[in-house]
Structure 1
């Protein structure tokens, strides 16, 4: 028991520090480890920790919102090519390290009660990497052993179906080897809760229109995906997971019941997974800004307090773009920052964020006359994942955990599969639960603003719309649209922001010291301004370009040149079919 506890503390230390004498003993982890590495629990643990760092190192997908309809940024023509590295994923160096552990650790002298969970964690990490390759590219070469220079390295691609089978086999074997739930100093390690939740995600993709264009919603994979996601939900419910009662606390506290797989950040050893220095307005940041700024379309996606869409005549709340922040879904206040709203960055009590030219500080403004203005300004900011108390000089010390999988995602996965397998009541209940937690009013009919008697197609869209709001800036939206073969939503899209053009009737070039003084004292309120909805300002492309060939990205040409047995995807000059044909 002491040995297991020692490894637990060691794991967390190495995971967040990536340094120390134990790591040194493993030598260069890119090479084959020294003899005896897997006879010792400490060096085995160090090797495994390095794999975690290589596999789950990305943190918050900051900037990904610009690829979809959430954030500023325009994806123009030629974004992805066979030559560039955009949207390419080929982690075979890390897979080789995982295969080394899976070959050597079973034969090592580490006791079974310690090494078996390590083997299970490594199998999960391998499945995690293969799954990402598959939803990027389709089928890829399956390599289960550490290749040597004497081996035939020119391995052909396996079919997409074979890759899914391989991924699911690894996940099932991982689930049999890891405990039900890690807590305390073990939090962040792969356990059964993580494996089952992730398996549900994998099977959701396998059933999706992306992989089944000829039969997008009636293929047999949906039933398998439903069974897996319901099993994951039931397991999580039985083991203390669930929706956190307060949505605003999901990203402000650690180790709570909603986070299933967390990438843990700890100041000062491992920080800034949120890239807060790029997300904050420049006046309270350092050297950078412009990431994850919500578009006007994203602002309008949030419902009103009664769950109705803005402007819906049946809503109890009137909607006016001049007071767009009033009476909205509480998640709007929890995640959005608009002109004149309270945003207490650097711990400044009562601080309000301004975005009007001549009123806002530094480059915080969104206006036609600002030097250096570009399409990343939208007139909106976000508070999701931001540690507002940090001063600008310490903005890179943000150590908010990245929730790679949280309970709400499992609910949405379960809802999608329920809807596609003839169980609309189960899917609708998920939406009600999500909206209830958000603080939306139930209404006299208990529908939380949702339409009664929705068709399968309507409920499918309602799930996607709700997830767009719930997971804003968590890197889900682009992949959800792609998974449903709905890139047409983005293709040709123009993006807009909300510009404060007047304050108390005065344009930017009429502003007096009185207004500036009020702004400096944070006395100007959102309703003191006049707003216009304007297209994002850019010298580059103005429309999004998302062709159908982006449903599967190409293998990078440099990899094909190294291995002529790799076939390119059929929409990229080759004849490999990445679907489950």
Structure 2
């Protein structure tokens, strides 16, 4: 094995199969590592006495933990179509929103138990342990955000023994998560870069801790006292520390909104799942996000719905219809919008230069079929029989890829970026009566977005917002800033705002070529059609898709029935027929 491959094994960029070959000693692999005598057996003293093997074990834990691109997650909220949440979408019998990663937690606990008996150098051992503490905290936080309190397991159980313990309280679980994150912080370097980029460091720990404590303080866990509980001060302190320390370590907002995903390892990226070509590609599933005319095998993912398109401010930061500087009309909806709109939304007639096709425009209308300007699978309107909205998402795409190579997209998934740290801080600041600090963050985010400052220097914001108004403004900013990054669902859930979805339906925008560009025989007289060469009608995405129904019980999901049957010591959540209270 050459030096380059050894470096890959020691970082999260490793291909999962290579890890398993190292760890399990598959037949015919005697040349994988020159200094390994017998790949068929790896007793603990062998694994925990070798930096390469110990890091390979850790890499396998990364592969079982790190999230990937949240493709089509917006169908569960007011972001994309055509799917909806309805009654019985989540049950204790199905696998929807179920997460029970105790097999991975067992392997993390094995690491903690065995590494102390190994012969690794202290700095190597501590760095591995620090990352493992974070990974365990990650799994527990996801479970707690789903269910509330779950069993806390700190030591590995025997392979032939089921998990036969009861649930800890939600408060105990939050304490345990913070305990693991604090332990991780003590053992890790401030910031990993270059060949170690993608590994968990102090920066990721602090940013994630701020996210965890924001959830702990939230209305989801404190419905009887949602915004005046003592946890908000804790969340403020953690997010301020994260903001200040990350700033000291060189983190900042990327120069442009576009650069966040286009310029990998930029200074806004705090925690990322790394994709490389060849070896680990298509995390973005670009083949499904693109229109089929410029892709293969799939289409229809992450298609923005009309209400989301309308949510973007005007370029002066005011809501559509409320700007004194820029008029708004459905027939010219794309004009003078927040620059993040153009970085995220591909609309009818817009430049969408996929496959490096200069001046290529995207069309989504039946009027152009069978014209070469559009493909029947890319359209939206009355005649469609499948989910289209009239829009496409362009965030995270490698637009220069030809259709034949669309599945080689290797854009990293950025799970935590500096903008989230800032907005988490702003939210906690507002709830602890520090509105000036919260507004300063919103102005910074909008300035980077390219929104006009305005004569008052407020970037379209009101200077005298009350606490409730500023709360709404922060959540509205998060909706735009983190479009198609999987955060809208969590934001509505943790703030107990399902009522914004309940009873809603999903709409798209249908385009029709204006009469002056069609001759008496129905042929187009103009081929370079622009967005203004169409008229637009708001239309329901698919008429037989029901309206959204989001019960109160969905704020905490039910434990899966099969897990309850295996372990009689588990209690089901109270809203699902049990006795366990998942709230704080």
Scaled by the length of structure 2, what TM-score is found? 0.93
The one-character-per-residue Cα deviations of 1:289-340 (angstroms, maximum 9, x if unpaired) are: 111111111111110011011011x430111110100001111111111000
Give yes or no for contact 1:26–1:34 (8 Å, CA) kept in 2: no
Residue 537 of structure 1, CA deviation = 1.3
Which structure 2 residues correspond to residues 154-233 of structure 1 after superposition, within 5 A? 154-233=164-243
Residue 511 of structure 1, CA deviation = 3.8
Give yes or no for contact 1:27–1:34 (8 Å, CA) kept in 2: no
Give yes or no for contact 2:553–2:575 (8 Å, CA) kept in 1: yes
* Partner of residue 15 from structure 1, selected from 7, 13, 17: 13
Q: Taking structure 1 as reference, are residues 45 and 87 closer, same or farther at Cα in structure 2, changes over 3 Å only?
A: same
Give yes or no for contact 2:131–2:201 (8 Å, CA) kept in 1: yes
Residue 9 of structure 1, CA deviation = 4.3
The one-character-per-residue Cα deviations of 1:412-433 (angstroms, maximum 9, x if unpaired) are: 1000000000100000000000
Residue 451 of structure 1, CA deviation = 1.2
Do residues 456 (structure 1) and 456 (structure 2) align?
no
Do residues 366 (structure 1) and 380 (structure 2) align?
yes
Residue 513 of structure 1, CA deviation = 4.7
2:335, 2:163 → 1: CA distance?
Answer: 61
| Structure 2: tracts of 5 or more residues without a match | 27-40, 369-373
* Partner of residue 532 from structure 1, selected from 532, 537, 548: 537
2:219, 2:506 → 1: CA distance?
Answer: 26
Residue 25 of structure 1, CA deviation = 3.7
Partner of 1:239: 249
* Partner of residue 556 from structure 1, selected from 557, 560, 576: 560
1:543, 1:507 → 2: CA distance?
Answer: 37
Give yes or no for contact 2:198–2:273 (8 Å, CA) kept in 1: yes
Give yes or no for contact 1:336–1:382 (8 Å, CA) kept in 2: yes
Which structure 2 residues correspond to residues 344-493 of structure 1 after superposition, within 5 A? 344-359=353-368, 360-370=374-384, 373-374=385-386, 376-493=387-504
Partner of 1:64: 73
Do residues 106 (structure 1) and 116 (structure 2) align?
yes
| Structure 1: tracts of 5 or more residues without a match | none
Residue 76 of structure 1, CA deviation = 2.4
Partner of 2:64: 54
The one-character-per-residue Cα deviations of 1:352-395 (angstroms, maximum 9, x if unpaired) are: 0000103122310001113xx23x31101111001101111111
Q: Taking structure 1 as reference, are residues 15 and 511 closer, same or farther at Cα in structure 2, changes over 3 Å only?
A: same
Residue 17 of structure 1, CA deviation = 1.5
Partner of 2:156: 146
Residue 538 of structure 1, CA deviation = 4.1
Give yes or no for contact 1:233–1:411 (8 Å, CA) kept in 2: yes
Scaled by the length of structure 1, what TM-score is found? 0.94
Q: Taking structure 1 as reference, are residues 66 and 160 closer, same or farther at Cα in structure 2, changes over 3 Å only?
A: same
The one-character-per-residue Cα deviations of 1:105-130 (angstroms, maximum 9, x if unpaired) are: 12211111111100000000000010
1:240, 1:196 → 2: CA distance?
Answer: 14
Residue 152 of structure 1, CA deviation = 6.8
Which structure 2 residues correspond to residues 312-331 of structure 1 after superposition, within 5 A? 312=322, 314-331=323-340
Q: Taking structure 1 as reference, are residues 508 and 95 closer, same or farther at Cα in structure 2, changes over 3 Å only?
A: farther
Residue 34 of structure 1, CA deviation = 3.0
SS at match of 1:419: helix
Q: Taking structure 1 as reference, are residues 511 and 139 closer, same or farther at Cα in structure 2, changes over 3 Å only?
A: farther
2:311, 2:281 → 1: CA distance?
Answer: 31
2:408, 2:232 → 1: CA distance?
Answer: 43
2:263, 2:478 → 1: CA distance?
Answer: 21
Q: Taking structure 1 as reference, are residues 507 and 102 closer, same or farther at Cα in structure 2, changes over 3 Å only?
A: farther
Give yes or no for contact 1:358–1:511 (8 Å, CA) kept in 2: no
Do residues 566 (structure 1) and 570 (structure 2) align?
yes
Residue 153 of structure 1, CA deviation = 3.1
- Shifted more, 492-501 versus 170-179: the winner is 492-501
Do residues 44 (structure 1) and 58 (structure 2) align?
no
1:294, 1:378 → 2: CA distance?
Answer: 7
Give yes or no for contact 1:9–1:186 (8 Å, CA) kept in 2: no
Q: Taking structure 1 as reference, are residues 49 and 368 closer, same or farther at Cα in structure 2, changes over 3 Å only?
A: same
